[in-house]
A and B are shown apart, each in its own frame.
Chain A
Amino acid sequence: MSRRGWIYALPVLLFVGLMAGFYYGLQIDSTVLPSALIDEPAPRFDLPPLPGHEPGFSSADLSGHVSLVNTFASWCTPCRAEHPILTALAATKRVAIYGIDYKDKQEAALAWIAALGNPYTRIGADNGRVGIDWGVYGVPETFVVDRQGRIRYKHVGPLTQADLDRTILPLVAQLER
């Protein structure tokens, strides 16, 4: 091998680095997004209601009790998948669920709620502005908010029963203690 032989090994070395990156990329559970807002007070907002589901939803609603804040939209297929889990949870009255209807059309959202059921204590219609404050990356996302109105946990993607049983409900119980 000549003195410049190392240059031929460069591609394979770069490739090994890349593969390591890919491998770690696969390990990261992409549904656990770190949020800059964890342990920070929830942003202040005051969202208008969907017609027929008054009143709207504002940051004042969140203090005094532990709650879940769920972003959803009628155009979002994963939201449809997690919806039965939310309605079942709402039926148990275990914890208050608030909804942020994210970048949605009013009629479509109303039809969606009418067809699939309404698990939400209150719903606020957001044109996207409040979503930015919450650091919404894509719907659905679910936040756990404590009694003081601080965000304690963020779940990205559709909720499964396992997520509820293993992570969210234990956390709610812990925060209520």
Chain B
Amino acid sequence: MITEIGHFSLVLALCVAVLQASLPLYGAARGEAALIAWARPAALAQFLFVAIAFGALMHAYAVSDFSLANVAANSNSLKPLLYKLSGVWSNHEGSMLLWVFILALFGAAVAAFSRNLPPALRARVLAVQAMIGVGFLLFILLTSNPFQRLWPAPADGMGLNPVLQDPGLAFHPPWLYLGYVGFSISFCFAIAALIEGRVDPAWARWVRPWTLAAWCALTIGIAMGSWWAYYTLGWGGWWFWDPVENASFMPWLVGTALLHSAVVVEKREALKTWTILLAIIAFSLSLVGTFLVRSGVLTSVHAFASDPLRGVFILLLLSIYTGGALLLFAWRAPQLQGGGLFAPISREGGLLLNNLLLTTAAATVFIGTLYPLLLDVVAHRKVSVGPPFYTMTFVPIMVPLLVAMAIGPMLPWKRGDLIAALARLKFAFLATALAALVTLAVTGAQSIGAACGLSLAAWLFAATLTELAERVRLFAEPRGVLRRALSLPRAAWGMTLAHGGMAVVIAGITGSNAWTEERIVTARPGDNFAIAGYTIALDAVNEVTGADYTATRADLRLIRNGHQVAALHPEKRFYPVENGNSTGVAIRTNLLSDIYAVIGDGDGKGGYVLRLYWNPLVPWIWLGAVVMALGGVISLTDRRHRVGAPVRRARAVAATTVQAAE
């Protein structure tokens, strides 16, 4: 019964979305206030109906209702409740419903939190959002209905892929989708601006918090995904450049560019058309990501769920939304008024360079991801593009980006002085040189690449601190620093944290690439192994039983200087229901480096394969990502987003006050 309510509710959501997509748009064009006013309640109602549908599916999973084909195929009565619930989005149908749920959630959030938006603009934004909703609701109802009944109902479900039964992965898709779908709001604002033919600082200020929220969620989602890959796949790696990862990374790169170019629109009224284009591309890449992952175009050989009909449907949606948006862009963008001019060496110039490098990076990943597909279409050849391609293309783009990232914030708007900015970075130069020398002295001349990576990280980190110190006049006027620090705009703190976090991530990536130690041994209880100054002792190997699995479990002791530091228990789990294995990696971290242990198969003679890794600086990758996301969140709480400051008529005044505050 609840299932049918959910299904019915989804149809109702579609009806509401159709009205929401049409009436307010018509009303905004004709200036009819009654129709314009339709947008907000419609967005809230659409969210309510989608939420009921989503709740119904959650309920079916929670109570293990195997008369639903979707539940029977992806769940099992023995599973812990957490994995029953996360089973909702571990499959195609459920994850599409989650996608639409988050879309409607963002629509409702715009309806609820944008009272200061001009009603016509809000109506257009919500109408465009509803158009996206219509497409994906149709997609779910026509090709991927999670409420399909199964008759007769099986006694138990087939279970969930063991690799997916993990807290990291349980929360990874929702965060990722919050990011993907969050960019739909920037997209809708861009379309609304093109329809209105007006982009101004007020527009940039409205669009920024939504972009920022999506960016934070995507940062967390990507970090979670890579963390999951790190500790469940058991290879010691954390990023594999596979198409699914790239699909989430491309919107992140473009979204990062968008965040920065929106600042230029807000402060200087420049880069308007470019910002609009970035907003369109960021969301389009989210759609491409959905298409690539869901259609099986790239992973086709082994993708069981790949279904050409679904692929064609998503392709159709992609053509309509992105194609329509870009057509509108081609038509309306030339009419947008150009903005302030600036010299190449200036804050704007730095942000433009950031944009060019980030979009080039995104294009590189795009080509690497799609080249196999295009080559297949054109030349009927199958290739795969691996990490060497990305190392060769990505690093040369990232190095200038990181160098410029340190200098950009030191430059004033309009016109800057590069030499003077570099002179203010003398401590950063010192830190860079020091990092390089210390690295070379400690690890020897062969780690020249690592020295470059760490000195880049030091450069960025020191420059970010320098910029902060200058803002609070730490050296010029030490008294009252705390007061000044607290009264800095939150956006400034956000930037400091995000840039600092990036430096930490770079250090982590460098460390893991340069110095990871790996030992693969066949071990018997009683054996000892040395790795990176630690001794690891294998005491015993036991068979243990978990909730819905059995496992071979090793008891390892991690010893340093004769003292036990930690006990490690790597497991190799077998899930009888799913007839599959998963790896339970044991990790001991001291936040500087990880000891990472995996147990493999036994040799039948009492020996077991043990894989031991020492991964220096790897925890910093996720630590840095969290700091970056935190920076985004703090920036989101900036006063200018909360106060209804940007009223269009008063924008000249607003612009002056902002500049005075800088």
Taking beta carbons and an 8 Å cutoff, which residues of A are in contact with B?
A: 1-2, 4-5, 8-9, 11-12, 15-16, 18-19, 21-26, 28, 30-31, 33-34, 77-78, 81, 105, 107-108, 137-138, 156-157
Contact = CB atoms under 8 A, between A and B. Distances in A.
Contact of B301 (A12, A22, A137): A137
Given A5-B334, A11-B277, A137-B382, A19 B319 contact: yes
Contacts of A34: 380-382
A165 to B, nearest CB: 21
B464 interface: no
B626 interface: no
Contact of A15 (B322, B370, B380): B322
Contact of A8 (B273, B296, B311): B273
A105 B608 CA distance: 14
A19 B334 contact: no
B297 to A, nearest CB: 5
22 contacts: A1-B334, A8-B329, A9-B330, A11-B277, A19-B318, A19-B323, A21-B374, A22-B297, A22-B315, A23-B315, A25-B297, A25-B373, A25-B376, A26-B308, A30-B301, A33-B382, A34-B380, A34-B382, A81-B304, A105-B601, A108-B601, A138-B302
Contact of A26 (B297, B322, B370): B297
Across chains A and B, which 10 residue pairs bring their CB atoms closest together, nearest first?
A30-B300, A12-B326, A9-B330, A24-B377, A8-B333, A5-B334, A11-B326, A25-B373, A8-B330, A26-B311
B550 to A, nearest CB: 15
A2 B302 contact: no
- The SS class assigned to the A binding surface is helix
B377 A78 contact: no
Interface residues of B, number: 36
Contacts of B302: 78, 138, 157
Interface in B271-288: 273, 277, 280-281
Contacts of B3: none
B304 A77 contact: yes
B152 interface: no
A4 B155 CA distance: 66
Given A15-B323, A19-B318, A108-B601, 7 more contacts: A21-B374, A22-B318, A25-B374, A25-B376, A26-B297, A30-B300, A107-B601
A12 B330 contact: yes
A78 B302 CA distance: 7
B291 interface: yes
B327 interface: yes
A12 B323 contact: yes
B373 A21 contact: yes
A124 B322 CA distance: 51
B295 interface: yes
A25 B312 CA distance: 10
Interface string B355-394: 0000000000000001001101100111000000000000
A7 to B, nearest CB: 9
B118 interface: no
A15 B300 contact: no
A26 B323 contact: no
A82 to B, nearest CB: 12
B375 to A, nearest CB: 10
A159 to B, nearest CB: 14
B604 interface: yes
A81 B374 CA distance: 30
Contacts of B604: 107
A2 B382 contact: no
Contacts of B380: 34
B376 A28 contact: yes
A83 to B, nearest CB: 13
Given A8-B330, A26-B295, A34-B380, A19 B304 contact: no
Given A22-B315, A137-B382, A156 B330 contact: no
Given A22-B315, A25-B297, A11 B373 contact: no
A25 B301 CA distance: 13
A2 B295 CA distance: 40
Interface string B288-320: 000100011100111010001001100100110
Contacts of B381: 34
Nearest to A76: B302
A18 B304 CA distance: 25
B304 A156 contact: no
B373 A15 contact: no
Nearest to A20: B377
Q: Which one of A25, A137, A138, A157 has the greatest number of beta carbons of chain B within 10 Å?
A: A25
A16 B323 contact: yes
Given A25-B376, A105-B601, A12 B312 contact: no
Contacts of A5: 334
A156 B381 CA distance: 14
A12 B329 contact: yes
Nearest to B298: A25
B446 to A, nearest CB: 30
A138 B301 contact: yes
A137 B601 CA distance: 26
Nearest to A16: B323
Nearest to B281: A11
Interface string B83-102: 00000000000000000000
Contacts of B277: 11
Contacts of A78: 302, 304
A156 B334 contact: no
B334 A2 contact: yes
A141 to B, nearest CB: 9
Contact of A21 (B300, B318, B333, B377): B377
